[in-house]
Amino acid sequence: MSKRSHFTTITPLPAGVTRASVLDTLRNHFEMIDLNPLVIERKRQDKAPPFAGPEEYHATWYQITDNIKGLPGTTTYHGCFHDLADGLQTHVYAPAGLDIRGKWQLGGTLPGEPTQTVELGLNPT
């Protein structure tokens, strides 16, 4: 049985956090992978795996290993990371058909900056 879920979270930057530091973090793939507390190992791959689609072929690929408490052994899977001008897109191919696509974007405006167009269906207030 397949289930598709979507969610969006909009979070203001805390005072003192710069746009540059956020983009630096998003583009540090190891740091982003390590935000998952289950990860025990991650390795950058030299090339895309055979199942990679054409739009992901030139992305940066990683082999990621999790240690899930309560399950015997470890779980290894692949994920691709694609840097964007304003963020990061990821696609993780986890076991049991779990397919996770993520997108992190740095948006919004600071006082005095021109207002950005808000994506339809999202109310940042």
pLDDT at residue 99 tops 60: yes
In a domain, 82, yes or no: yes
The pLDDT of 98-123, averaged and rounded, is 79
At 7-56, the pLDDT tens digits run 888 888 888 888 899 999 999 999 999 999 999 999 999 999 999 999 99
At 61-82, the pLDDT tens digits run 999 999 988 888 899 999 999 9
- C-alpha distances in Å from residue 4, one per residue of 9, 82, 93, 119: 17, 22, 15, 21
Report the amino acid identity of residue 43.
K
Which residues span the domain enclosing 79?
19-105
Task: For residues 64 and 95, give the distance between their C-alpha atoms in angstroms, rounded to a whole number.
Answer: 11
In a domain, 112, yes or no: no
DSSP state of 80: E
DSSP state of 114: P
pLDDT at residue 122 tops 70: no
In a domain, 124, yes or no: no
pLDDT for the residue 25: 96
How many of the other CB atoms lie within 10 Å of CB of 9? 5
pLDDT at residue 119 tops 80: no
pLDDT for the residue 1: 59
Report the number of distinct structural domains present in the chain.
1
DSSP state of 65: E
Residue 85's pLDDT band, with cuts at 50, 70 and 90, is very high
In a domain, 113, yes or no: no
**How many helices (H) does the chain have, and how many strands (E)?**
2, 5
